Structure 1
Amino acid sequence: MINTQKISIDCLIIQSEGNIVSNMDGEKVMMSIHNGKYYNLGTPGSTIWDLIKTPISINQLITTLMSKYDVEKNECEKQVISFLERLYEEGLIRIVDRS
């Protein structure tokens, strides 16, 4: 699956359907039903996954993460967008139309 839409700070995102998710020692592991791949999201990734159950702006996501973790805004933004781009490329999240 090739997704060409660019993720930016203003995007509204949500989890895609079709993923089986389980908690293992505080981290999320999941399998995509669509591509048959397994993923380990790690601790920060697990927090992000929980926060994107409902549509959320990336800006709000970053603000929330900064309140949970000791991280500078620029670094948080860079890491979150990079992580979300990988999820998007794998078809694990969707960009929601704001209209």
Structure 2
Amino acid sequence: MSMIDTKQTIAQLKGNIVSDMGGEKVMLCIKNGKYYNLGAIGGHIWELMSEPTTIEQLVSDLMSVYAVERSDCEEQVASFLKHLMNEGLIEAC
């Protein structure tokens, strides 16, 4: 997923129980019964998606907090979002 549409809007799907555990977000998906450890940065991304947002906005928000090159940030965010999408946890709007 090297070329992404950063203008794409994405949003959380409802029906997940999310909790903080030692600074990391963990989630139980009610629909599939799976647990996920989103980690600290993944948890931050999850919080940023509490309302529909663009990938571009996610990357900008993360770059304001973490020292990372835009291309690396876009690549990592795209990979994370692809995983969430494949698991049915987020949707493209």
Alignment of 1:4-83 (within 5 A): 8-83=5-80
Distance 2:31 2:85 in 1: 13
Shift of residue 8, structure 1, vs aligned partner: 2.9
Structure 1 vs Structure 2 CA RMSD: 0.9
Distance 1:25 1:49 in 2: 16
Q: How many residues align?
A: 90
Deviation sequence 1:22-78 (CA, Å, 0-9, x none): 100111101101111000001110100000000100001100000000000000000
Give the match's secondary structure for 2:7. Answer: coil
Give the match's secondary structure for 1:14. Answer: strand
Q: Which runs of 5+ in 1 are unaligned?
A: 1-6
Distance 2:87 2:31 in 1: 10
* Residue 90 of structure 2: aligned partner: 93
Q: Which runs of 5+ in 2 are unaligned?
A: none
Percent identity between matched residues is: 54
When normalised by structure 1's length, the TM-score is: 0.88
Distance 2:22 2:85 in 1: 25
